[in-house]
Amino acid sequence: MKSRPIGFFDSGVGGISVLKEAIKMLPNEEYIYFGDSKNAPYGTKSKDKVRELSIEAVEFLIKEKVKAIVVACNTATSAAIDELREIYKDIPIIGIEPALKPAVELNKKGSIIIMATPMTLAEKKFSKLVKKYEENSTIVALPCPGLVEFIENGIVSGEQIRSYLFEKLENLMEKGIGAIVLGCTHYPFINEEIKQIIGKEIPIIDGSEGTVKQLKRQLIKNDLLNCKNQIGSVKIYNSSENKELIDISKKLLSI
C-alpha cells in the first residue's frame, strides 16, 4: 500500500502547481496527475456539473490504484469535497482552499485580495472562511473568469495576460493592497506577471504548501508514507484529445 502512487486532479493543468510543491516536500512518493482539460474551466460551470466531473476524476485515479487523492483545484474542493469524502470513505482525500490565514497573519496595511474563480468565491466554504478573518482585515474577493483559459493554452506571460491583470487590479492598487492570495491553482504560473503589475514588495500567497503539509500529515496518520530511498516517478494524464496539454503540463512542472 505504501508504495502506491498519490493521485492529483484539477480541471486542467493548474494543479501542477500543487504537484510541484508535493514533489519538493515528498520526493520519494510516486505521483499520478489527471488534468481534466477537456472540461476546463470548472469555475464557470454549475456546482452539480463540477461534482459530477470531480467524481469521474476520482474514479480515474482509483482505477490507477492510488493510496491518497489531492483535489488540486479550489473550485472542485469547494463544490465537491464533502461529497467525495462521503462516497470514498476508505481513502484520504485532501482539498485546497484560498490561503487566507497566512495572508492575514502577515498583518500588512491594505486589503487582502483573493483572486479565484467565480464558483470558489460564491461558495459557502469561502464565505465561512472570510467570516473567520474579516473582523480585523479588509478582504476583497476578485473573481477572474477567463484567466484560466490563458494558462490552459500555455500562455503564462505576455501582453494579453498583463492587460487582463492590469484591468482587474488597477483600482485596487489605488486603494492599497496588503497581500494577494491566489485562490486558483492555475494562477501561481502567472505570479511573475502579477508582480510586474503590483510590484515586488506585495506578498503573493498560494495554498499549495499548506495543502501538501496536510497531505503529509494524512499519509503519516494512515501509515501510508513511502519509505523507499529513491526519487519517485510522475505520470501525467489529460482528458483532452489535444496532445499538447501533456507537453504544457510537463513544461509547467519544470518551470
Mark the binding-site residues, compressed into ranges: 10-11, 42-43, 74-75, 185-186
What's the closest the beta carbon of residue 202 comes to ligand DGL, in angstroms? 21
What's the closest the beta carbon of residue 43 comes to ligand DGL, in angstroms? 3
Closest CA to 163 of 193, 208, 140, 192: 193
| Sites of contact with ligand DGL (CB under 6 A) | 10-11, 14, 40-43, 73-75, 117, 120, 148, 184-186
**Residue closer to ligand DGL, measured from CB, 21 or 224:** 21
Q: Where are the alpha helices (DSSP H) in 134-185?
A: 147-152, 159-175
Q: Which residues sit in the known binding site for substrate?
A: 10-11, 42-43, 74-75, 185-186
What's the closest the beta carbon of residue 125 comes to ligand DGL, in angstroms? 12
Write down the catalytic residue from 72, 73, 190, 215: 73
227 in active site? no
What's the closest the beta carbon of residue 88 comes to ligand DGL, in angstroms? 20
Which residues does 96 contact at the CB level (< 8 Å), separation at least 6?
18, 70, 71, 72, 73, 74, 77, 185, 207, 208, 210, 211
Write down the catalytic residue from 57, 184, 212, 252: 184
User: Which position's Cβ is nearest ligand DGL?
Assistant: 43
184 in active site? yes
Which residues does 2 contact at the CB level (< 8 Å), separation at least 6?
67, 223, 224, 225, 226, 227
Closest CA to 103 of 155, 160, 141, 75: 141
Name the residues annotated as catalytic.
73, 184
